[in-house]
Amino acid sequence: MIIKFSLPYNLRKNLDLTRHFKAFSTLPEFITQKGPYTNNAIDEAHRSIVLLFEFEDSRFAEACRSIFRQMEDLYLIPGFTFSTQVLSGTHEGFRSISQS
């Protein structure tokens, strides 16, 4: 199973997102993070960062707790939002990146 996070941001706001991503704690061994990838398709001033977290279906609840703990630091950024999608498999997850 894959959880996909899309994190939109405005290039003109000069957010130091790198600092926030470096602050992420280590994920449990059963979760594999892929990304961050950058999506340039929004418009001239807006981009989106995409993160994928892959894990076994049977560990969904445990994975969600660990992944959302990773995102807690991002809640401190004024106006920052994200969206999530639960995807059924690796092929669907990587296909969704190419279409984002």
Q: Centre a 10 Å sphere on the Cβ of residue 52 and count the other Cβ atoms it contains.
A: 21
Global pTM?
0.74
Structural domains of the chain sorted by starting position, each given as residue range(s) with its CATH number in brackets: 2-99 (3.30.70)
Comparing 37 with 77, the larger pLDDT belongs to: 37
pLDDT of 71 over the 70 cut: yes
For residues 85 and 96, the answer to whether their CB atoms sit within 8 Å is yes
pLDDT at 28: 93
Backbone dihedral region for residue 72 (phi beyond 0: left; psi -120 to 50: alpha; all else: beta): alpha
pLDDT band at 32 (very low <50, low <70, confident <90, very high): very high
Nearest to 55 by CA among 34, 70, 69: 34
